[in-house]
């Protein structure tokens, strides 16, 4: 059998030769493609930064204004608390038994005597009612000049009647 030589058996196909473009000198008159412009991007970023800073400034000013309002309200609350405390102290003085007794004497009231009690279920009077003593002149003038000398209906033209011990509940 005849054999073929090994050198002729597998040959790679030839590739066509790559041709390179001719090099030429570039002068200033010939324009080449310009790189992408950066100015719009820089302006966008600067604008975004400015808007963010303005937003932060607005938020900071709002918080500062709120802090001033909070301080004013806290100061007002302290003043109102002090006023309330002062009014409570005045009320405690006005509600004291000594002051009430003095005010009652100024309008012509006298201390009560031994009271009598009514027993409604049995229709009896327990104890003996005694009339109150006649009021004496007070340091502020005569009794009953304070403007409350009217009856329970509020008539100032009629003098008030002092209760007497002769009236009883069993007189029906």
The rounded distance, in Å, linking the Cα atoms of 60 and 4 is: 93
* Residue 79 C-beta-side C-alpha neighbours within 13 Å: 6
Nearest partner of 165 among 112, 89, 87, 103, judged by Cα: 112
| Residue 43 predicted with pLDDT over 70 | yes
pLDDT of residue 4: 60
Tens digit of each residue's pLDDT (9 = 90 or more) over 66-100: 999 999 999 999 999 999 999 999 999 999 999 99
Helix (H, G, I), strand (E, B), or coil: what is residue 20? coil
Q: Among positive and negative, which fits the CA dihedral 121, 123, 129, 131?
A: positive
Q: What is the structure's pLDDT at 7?
A: 59
Positive or negative, the Cα torsion across 20, 21, 27, 30?
A: negative
Query: Residue 73: what pLDDT?
Result: 97
SS3 119: strand
Alpha carbon distance 43, 49 (integer Å): 10
- Note the pLDDT of residue 138: 52
Q: Is it the case that residue 2 has pLDDT exceeding 90?
A: no
Report, as an integer, the average pLDDT of 149-169: 44
pLDDT at 151: 40
For 156-169, what is the mean pLDDT? 45
pLDDT higher than threshold 90 for residue 146: no
Domain parsing of the chain, residue ranges: 39-97
Q: Is the pLDDT of residue 150 over 50?
A: no
User: What's the pLDDT at 157?
Assistant: 41
């Amino acid at each position: 059998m005849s054999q073929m030589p090994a050198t002729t058996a597998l040959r790679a196909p030839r590739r066509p030769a790559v041709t390179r473009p001719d090099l030429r000198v570039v002068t200033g008159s010939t324009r080449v493609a310009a790189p992408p412009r950066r100015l719009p991007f820089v302006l966008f970023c600067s604008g975004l930064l400015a808007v963010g800073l303005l937003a932060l400034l607005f938020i900071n000013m709002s918080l500062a204004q709120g802090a001033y309002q909070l301080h004013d309200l806290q100061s007002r609350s302290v003043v109102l608390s002090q006023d309330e405390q002062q009014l409570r102290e005045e009320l405690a003085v006005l509600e004291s038994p000594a002051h009430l007794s003095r005010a009652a004497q100024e309008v012509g009231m006298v201390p009560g005597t031994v009271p009598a009690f009514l027993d409604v279920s049995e229709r009896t009077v327990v104890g003996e009612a005694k009339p109150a003593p006649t009021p004496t002149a007070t340091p502020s003038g005569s009794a009953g000049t304070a403007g409350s000398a009217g009856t329970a209906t509020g008539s100032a033209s009629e003098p008030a009647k002092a209760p007497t011990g002769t009236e009883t509940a069993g007189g029906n």
